[in-house]
């Protein structure tokens, strides 16, 4: 449904870049914390294979502000070093809320590996920082997702500094180290423009039940500036809910908007957040946030159902969070996902499976394997000259509806799209052949005829045969978390 697609859009936020600069031929003095983070990044660059997709998951510590700082700097370094692709913190926030972990808390290895698999990452990076004498000791570890083997571990001692004191002070306490133990002093922190975490209390006095919320920079004009707030359920009238906002600049003004079950929206502008803030919503209908939506009587055959489900849950045939259509519900959230969403027809394209008849080993036919198959294809084709613009690669490159986690469906997933969508005249599928991500040998990859549902093995190469059908249609899909 269009309003959900637009209102619940994640913002891919600009990374805050910090580090040493050079002036007049001399290296500017770098704080020991920043130097330690830079050394850690250098170690990861040399320990993790280039081109890997990594998740910088968490840094365990007694200070969420210090953990956020280290994670943000590691992400910024990785983005600027351009050796890996990195999952953004905003994407991680939804998983954090569902899997109930904090970026400053401990995350079990099995949970970390599941999160890595959900994002199609090859490596999970996690760490810890704690007091050591008058300073700190930081440990960062890289874990290979597929094998659970440790790819590398880096330890570094950090001296106490004004930067560390300022960061810890920004979360409401100033930590002083006494005999290796952390104590609080009453110093007041200076407000910084460094992105931080805000605990926001939403108070609902609208007279209706609130079921969605966003925040965004004040006077934003683009829908892509909207950042989804995970409410973890409805907020009834007269109730309040404490939620977490990530990467907030305390020096800037923001707007917070909520939507109720009758599609009315309410907004409060020009908020200067503090680490703990409260916003009270009353019966003010703000048309600036209202999104177009047809009534159920206007639904036509072939249009996704917009009937209401519990927050975070969907039904087959209902619009998904990226504006596509939910076509599968496995009944529970495991492995980081519950639902499969097919992209809308606007994202459909034609492509060959392989340009050079390259065989990709270990692709699987079953439900839940499309994402892994796609990553295997991407990795293999990256090592094969001439493999460009293929079905899997174009799915992986796709950015649509505010999401970039699309992939080529497995054989069973493709068949589910045919059975649950095409046969019900949903999704605007063509009477044509569609590729899946399963391949049998160097020349044969499976496809399905959406005219009658017939599945067969088709040629992956479309250049040296007269049959144009080798350049088949592709409908990307993605995994959706749920309750």
Digitized pLDDT (tens) for each residue of the chain, 483 residues in all: 334 333 433 222 222 222 332 233 334 456 789 899 999 999 999 999 999 999 998 888 878 888 888 988 898 898 889 999 988 766 666 555 545 444 444 556 677 787 888 788 899 998 888 887 778 889 899 989 888 888 888 998 888 777 887 787 644 433 333 333 333 333 333 445 567 788 888 988 888 898 888 888 875 555 557 788 888 788 988 888 888 887 788 888 888 888 887 777 888 877 888 888 888 887 654 433 333 222 222 233 344 443 334 446 788 988 889 989 999 998 888 888 999 999 999 999 999 999 988 999 999 999 999 999 999 999 999 999 999 999 999 999 999 988 999 999 999 999 999 999 999 889 999 999 999 999 988 888 899 999 988 887 655 554 333 223 478 999 999 999 876
Q: Which domains does the chain have, with CATH numbers?
A: 22-185 (3.40.50.10610), 195-289 (2.60.40.2890), 325-480 (no CATH)
- Say which residue the tokens 């409410």 belong to: 231
Q: How many CB atoms lie within 10 A of CB 446?
A: 22
Per-residue confidence (pLDDT) for residue 95, from 0 to 100: 56
- Say which residue the tokens 């829908």 belong to: 223
The residues, ordered by sequence, that sit 6+ positions from 41 with a Cβ below 8 Å of its Cβ are: 74, 77, 78, 81
Of the candidates 293, 346, 292, 309, the residue with the CA atom closest to the CA atom of residue 324: 346
Q: How many CB atoms lie within 10 A of CB 126?
A: 21
Residues 265 and 285 sit within 8 Å (Cβ to Cβ): yes
> Rounded distance, CA 181 to CA 131, Å?
7
Cα separation values, 465 from 24, 291, 434, 471, Å: 63, 48, 18, 11
Phi, psi for residue 237 in degrees, rounded to 5? -55, 135
Per-residue confidence (pLDDT) for residue 351, from 0 to 100: 93
Per-residue confidence (pLDDT) for residue 172, from 0 to 100: 41
The residues, ordered by sequence, that sit 6+ positions from 151 with a Cβ below 8 Å of its Cβ are: 47, 48, 123, 142, 143, 144
């Amino acid at each position: 449904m269009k309003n959900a697609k637009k209102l619940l859009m994640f913002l891919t936020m600009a990374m805050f870049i910090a580090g040493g600069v050079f002036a007049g031929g001399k290296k500017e003095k770098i704080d020991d914390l920043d130097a330690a983070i830079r050394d850690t990044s250098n170690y990861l660059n040399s320990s993790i294979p280039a081109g890997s997709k990594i998740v910088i998951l968490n840094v365990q510590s007694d200070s969420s502000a210090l953990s956020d700082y280290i994670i943000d700097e590691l992400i910024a370094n990785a983005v600027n070093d351009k050796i890996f692709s990195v999952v953004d913190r905003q994407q991680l926030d939804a998983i954090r809320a569902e899997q109930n972990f904090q970026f400053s808390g401990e995350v079990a290895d099995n949970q970390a590996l599941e999160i890595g698999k959900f994002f199609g990452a090859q490596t999970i990076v996690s760490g810890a920082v704690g007091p050591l004498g008058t300073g700190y000791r930081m440990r960062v570890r890289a874990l290979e997702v597929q094998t659970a083997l440790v790819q590398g571990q880096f330890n570094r001692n950090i001296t106490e500094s004004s930067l560390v004191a300022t960061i810890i002070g920004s979360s409401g306490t100033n930590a002083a180290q006494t005999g290796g133990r952390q104590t609080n002093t009453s110093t007041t922190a200076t407000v910084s423009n460094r992105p931080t975490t805000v605990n926001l209390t939403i108070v609902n006095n609208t007279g209706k039940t609130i079921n969605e919320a966003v925040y965004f920079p004040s006077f934003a004009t683009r829908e892509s500036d909207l950042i989804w707030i995970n409410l973890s359920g409805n907020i009834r009238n007269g109730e309040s809910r404490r939620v977490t906002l990530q990467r907030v600049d305390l020096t800037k003004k923001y707007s917070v908007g909520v939507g109720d079950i009758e599609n009315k929206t309410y907004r409060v502008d020009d908020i200067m957040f503090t680490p703990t803030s409260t916003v009270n919503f009353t019966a003010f209908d703000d048309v600036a946030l209202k999104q177009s939506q047809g009534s159920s009587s206007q639904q036509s055959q072939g249009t996704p159902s917009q009937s209401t489900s519990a927050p975070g849950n969907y039904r087959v045939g209902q619009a998904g969070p990226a504006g596509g259509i939910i076509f599968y519900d496995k009944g529970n959230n495991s492995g980081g996902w519950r639902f499969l969403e097919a992209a809308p027809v606007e994202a459909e394209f034609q492509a060959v499976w392989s340009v050079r008849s390259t065989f990709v080993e270990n692709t699987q036919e079953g439900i839940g394997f499309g994402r892994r198959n796609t990553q295997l294809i991407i990795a293999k084709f990256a090592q094969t000259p001439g493999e460009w613009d293929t079905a899997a690669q174009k799915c992986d490159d796709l950015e649509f509806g505010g999401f970039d986690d699309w992939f080529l469906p497995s054989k069973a997933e493709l068949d589910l799209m045919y059975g649950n969508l095409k046969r019900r005249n949903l999704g605007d599928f063509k009477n044509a052949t569609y590729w899946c991500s399963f391949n049998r040998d160097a020349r044969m990859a499976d496809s399905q005829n959406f005219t009658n549902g017939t599945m067969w093995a088709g040629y992956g190469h479309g250049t040296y045969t007269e049959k144009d059908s080798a350049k088949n249609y592709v409908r990307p899909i993605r995994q959706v978390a749920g309750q």
